[in-house]
Structure 1
Amino acid sequence: MTKTTERTILLADCQSFYASVEKASYPEYKNKPLAVAGDPARRSGIILAACPMAKSFGVSTAERLGEALNKCPELVIVRPRMKHYIDVSLAITDIYKEYTDLVEVFSIDEQFLDISGSFKIFGDSLTVAREIQKKVLLQTGVWVRIGISSNKVLAKSATDIWAKKIKSGIFTLPKTELEQLLWPQPVNKMFGVGSRMSSHFERLGMTTIGDIARTSLPDLKSKFRVRFGKQSDIQAEVMWKTANGLDESPVAPYTLSSPQKSVSHMMTLPQDYLEPNEVETILLELSEEVCRDSRRKGYMGSVVTVSCTCSPYEAPTGFSRQMKLTEPTNNTNKVYNAAKKIFYNFWNGMPIRRLGVTLSGLVDDQTYQLSFFEDHERIRSLEEATDKIKERYGSAAIIRASSLTQAGQALERSLKIGGHYK
Structure 2
Amino acid sequence: MDRVILHSDCNSFYASVECLYRLEIRDKPVAVGGDVEQRHGIILAKNQIAKRYHIQTGEALWQARQKCPDLVIVPPDFPKYERFSRLTRRIYLDYTDLVEPFGLDECWLDVTGDANGRDGMEIAREISGRIKYELGITVSIGVSFNKIFAKLGSDYKKPDAVTRIGRSDYKKIAWPLPASDLLYVGSATKRKLERYGIHTIGDLAGTPERALRGWFGKWGEVLYTFANGLDQSPVAQYDNQPTIKSIGNSTTAPRDLANNEDVKIILYVLADSIARRLREQGFKGRTICIGVRDNQLFGFTRQHTLGSYTNITSEIAVAGLDLFRRHYRWYKPIRSIGISITDLVPDAVPSQANLYCDEKERERRERLDQTVDWLKNRFGTYAIQPAVLLTDRQLSGFDPKKDHTIHPVGYF
- Fold equivalence (TM over 0.5): yes
Equivalent of residue 221 in structure 1, options 202, 210, 218: 210
Match of 1:330 among 307, 311, 319: 311
**Structure 1 residues 15-24 or 93-102, which shifts more?**
93-102
Distance 1:87 1:375, change over 3 A: same
The DSSP-based 3-state class of the residue aligned with 1:412 is coil
Measured after TM superposition, the shift of residue 52 of structure 1 is 1.9
Alignment-derived partner of residue 78 in structure 1: 74
| C-alpha distance in 1 between matches for 2:70 and 2:92 | 36
From the superposition, tell whether residues 259 and 401 of structure 1 become closer, same or farther in structure 2 (CA, over 3 Å).
closer
Whole-angstrom distance in 2 between the partners of 1:209 and 1:341: 36
Bigger shift: 87-96 or 315-324? 315-324
Look up the match of 1:406: 393
Q: Answer whether contact 2:277 2:401 (CA < 8 A) is retained.
A: no
- Indicate how the Cα distance of structure 1 residues 31 and 359 shifts in structure 2: closer, same or farther if over 3 A, else same: closer
Q: Using the alignment, how far apart are the partners of 2:324 and 2:138 within structure 1?
A: 46
> Aligned with 2:44: secondary structure?
strand
Q: Residues of 2 paired with 1:207 and 1:52: CA distance?
A: 28
277, 288, 292: which one aligns with 2:272: 288
> Residue 260 of structure 2 contacts residue 325 of structure 2 at CA under 8 Å; is this kept in 1?
no
What is residue 5 of structure 2 aligned with on the other side?
A: 9
Q: How does 1:1-400 map to 2 (within 5 A)?
A: 5-44=1-40, 46-63=42-59, 65=61, 68-69=64-65, 72-117=68-113, 119-121=114-116, 123-162=118-157, 164=158, 169-194=161-186, 197-198=189-190, 201=193, 204-213=196-205, 215=206, 219-222=208-211, 224=212, 230=214, 232-253=216-237, 260=245, 263-272=247-256, 282-301=266-285, 305=288, 307=290, 313=295, 324=306, 328-332=309-313, 364-366=346-348, 367=350, 376=363, 383-384=369-370, 387=373, 396=381, 399-400=384-385
CA contact (8 A) 1:14 1:144 kept: yes
Relative to structure 1, is the Cα distance of residues 287 and 174 closer, same or farther in structure 2, using a 3 angstrom cutoff? closer
TM-score (norm 1): 0.73
Q: Within 1, Cα distance between the matches of 2:70 and 2:334?
A: 36
Cα deviation for residue 57 of structure 1 reads 4.6
Aligned mates of 2:123, 2:190 — CA distance in 1:
35
Change (3 A) 1:220 1:53: same
- Which protein is bigger by CA-based radius of gyration? 1
2:404 corresponding residue in structure 1:
417
Quote how far apart the aligned CAs of 1:131 are.
2.5
Superposition TM-score, scaled by structure 2 size: 0.75
- Matched position secondary structure for 2:399: helix
Point out where structure 1 has 5 or more consecutive residues left out of the alignment. none
CA offsets 1:68-110 (integer angstroms, 9 cap, x no match): 5555454433333233223322222222222221111112221
SS in 2 for 1:13: strand
User: How far is the alpha carbon of 1:17 from its aligned partner?
Assistant: 1.3
Q: Aligned in 2, Cα 1:279/1:104: closer, same or farther, shift over 3 Å?
A: same
Query: Alpha-carbon deviations, 1:174-216, whole Å to 9, x = none?
Result: 2122233333445454444445655555554555433443x3x
Summarize the Cα distance change of 1:395–1:257 in structure 2 as closer, same or farther, 3 Å threshold.
farther
What is the CA RMSD across the aligned residues, in angstroms? 4.5
Instruction: Report the Cα offset of residue 50 of structure 1.
Output: 2.5
Q: Distance in 2 between matches of 1:394 and 1:363?
A: 29
Q: Could you say what secondary structure the match of 2:115 adopts? A: helix
Paired letter, 1:182: A
CA displacement at 1:136 relative to structure 2: 1.7
Distance 1:382 1:220, change over 3 A: closer
Residue 86 to residue 190, structure 1, CA distance change in 2 (3 Å): same
**Is the contact between residue 304 and residue 335 of structure 1 (CA under 8 Å) also seen in structure 2?**
no
SS at match of 2:127: helix
Identity score, percent: 33
Secondary structure, aligned partner of 2:231: coil
Deviates more, 1:315-324 or 1:62-71: 315-324
The answer (yes or no) to whether the contact 1:264–1:358 under 8 Å persists in 2 is: yes
Q: CA deviation at 1:339?
A: 6.6
CA distance in 2 between counterparts of 1:103 and 1:264 reads 25
- Report the Cα offset of residue 145 of structure 1: 1.1
Deviations along 1:356-382, one digit per CA (max 9) or x if unpaired, are: 555567554333669996795x87667
Q: Is the 8 A contact 2:275 2:311 kept in 1?
A: yes
- Shift in alpha-carbon separation, 1:173–1:19, aligned structure 2, 3 A: same
Query: Which amino acid in structure 1 is aligned with residue 131 of structure 2?
Result: V
Unaligned residue ranges in structure 2 (runs of 5+): 408-412
